[in-house]
Amino acid sequence: MRPARWSPLVVATLLAWSSPLGAAVPAWARATRAALPAGATGVPQGYLPTLACPAVGACVAAGLYADAHQTPRGLLLVESAGRWAAPRTIAAPAGAAASPGLTPNALACAAVGSCAVVGAYQASGGITLPFALTEAGGRWTPARTVPLPAGAASTGQVAQLRGVACPAPGACVAVGTYVAAGTPAATVGFAVTQVGGVWGAPVSLPAPPDANLASVLGIPQVACSAVGHCVAIGTYLDTDNVQHGLVLSDVGGRWGPAQPVTPPPDASLYAHVTLSALACSADGSCTAVGTYYDHAGTTQLLALESRGGRWSPAVAIPAPAGAARDPRAFYYGYVDLACSSATTCAAGGQYVDAAGRYQGFLLDETGGVWSRATRLTLPRGASQVGRNGGVVALACPAAGSCRAGAAYLDAAGRYQALVLSQAHGRWLAGQSVVLPAGGASVGVDGGVYALACPSVTSCTAVGSYLAGATTYQGFLVATT
């Protein structure tokens, strides 16, 4: 994995191993190659980013595969009763371009047989439109185009859904952005809600009043504590082109105005706040993590909480001991945060140490208090001079018992994958994964993209690995 802000995603999974903590740490089987539709040649750029497991042995994953003409196609993988069914192609809606490039961005499942996948595709006329694919009662309906709010640009449109949450069967919320008509063109947020299994009319989510007229707004994630109680996070540019974080709240099915995030006290006037991950608990509390520039211009970690519907100012989280003066803290923006309760969470990403090496970090919240970030422990044989990757995927099935995926360079300079387990609140050393037959590295684009743990001892992961000089294939792995 290239350890930089634009790096392709690489995460990890775990080879079966023994631990004195016994059942507190699950054992993982060797990864197996994921089946692809007939004629497929691989997984473009290793893109298999989404996974949800509403129950043990019942999972859904989505990503891309390349057909015989090297054209990217939407991919859907479904596991039922512990068996992965034949892979499915996600066909683009009517009116799509000849090569629609349909790309799933996110998925969520409220229960077994009740899921939603959202993303974007290329329509005829050279515009990009959002889509939603829904499963109800175990049956998948065809992907449908999600309409845009009134006032959307009819030409030059680039719209997509980036996040989705499903707090109950047939009840989901998806968020994303579109281009509004006008001069100058502005990127605006929007949300669409599913009620009774039917997607309703889209709702525009404008940026705060101090946004640039040609605002560049991003809304990548949404989470719900219950039906009609959801939160979305994002960023926007103000009139001075300074980037701010924002939060939006859906109360009783109605979205309120966007609220700027108050950065930590030591933030620069040009704080460049970025919110990367979000999680909400059943009591309505939510947690978000991200980064900001301090008054010295260095990139630091932050976290903020919502209690009783009110967001507190963000708090700074110190980088690991031995970090560079500018740790260049970074989250990958996938599943960087997981919470087992309103006040117990774990998060992870990447930073630079004092020697200029990229390292992974982990941080924990216990009882509502965030501890200092810690450097993840790499397995023996890891390169001490190479650019190791960071933590990308997390799952916390119980308090003090989380799983985290990461990546590192081995002594031969090849990217390898690992997973770390937390037992009784203590993170253990990372363990390397044994890839499917023929795989010697996850490469710069592969690795485990997502982890899901429906119980403390039952976890599943999906990802990709190098099966040739430049060809990636998908893999699946689960605990034994």
Predicted confidence (pLDDT) per residue in 323-336, tens digit:
999 999 999 988 99
Can you give the pLDDT at residue 386? Answer: 67
Is residue 17 included in any domain, yes or no? no
Residue 3 lies in a domain: no
Name the stretches of the chain with pLDDT < 50: 1-23
Show the domain range for 395: 22-478
Rounded CA-CA distance 416/348 in Å is 18
- Which residues are CB-neighbours of 439 under 8 A, at least 6 positions away? 31, 465, 466, 467, 473, 475
pLDDT in the model for residue 24: 60
User: For residue 129, what pLDDT is reported?
Assistant: 98
Q: What is the pLDDT of residue 238?
A: 93
Q: How far out from the chain centre does Cα 363 lie?
A: 17
Cβ atoms < 10 Å from Cβ of 377? 15
Confirm whether 319 is domain-assigned.
yes
CA distance 133 to 342: 30
Entry field: residues in the chain? 480
Instruction: Write down the residue that tokens 């990636």 correspond to.
Output: 472
Q: Is 113 inside a domain boundary?
A: yes
Number of structural domains in the chain: 1
Q: Match 């993840």 to its residue by tokens.
A: 376
CATH number at residue 148: 2.130.10.120
Query: Any bridge partners for residue 50, and if so which?
Result: 62
What letters, b where the CB count within 10 A reaches 16 and e where it falls short, cover 180-217?
beeeebbbbbbbbbbeebebeebbbbbbeeebbeebeb
DSSP string, 167-226: EETTEEEEEEEEEESSSS-EEEEEEEEEETTEE---EEEPPPTTB-TT-B-EEEEEEEEE
Sign of CA dihedral 379, 406, 393, 145: negative
Closest CA to 414 of 455, 443, 392: 443
Contact 352, 358 (CB under 8 A): yes
Residue 9 lies in a domain: no
pLDDT number for residue 12: 34
pLDDT tens digits for range 127-182:
999 999 999 999 999 999 999 999 999 999 999 999 999 999 999 999 999 999 98
From the CB of residue 31, how many other CB atoms can be counted at a distance below 10 Å?
A: 26
Q: Is residue 422 part of a domain?
A: yes
| Residue 171 token pair | 């009840």
Query: Which residues, other chains included, contact 41 with Cβ-Cβ below 8 Å and sequence gap of 6+?
Result: 66, 67, 68, 70, 471
Global pTM exceeds 0.85: yes
Residue 342 lies in a domain: yes
Domain-embedded: residue 5: no
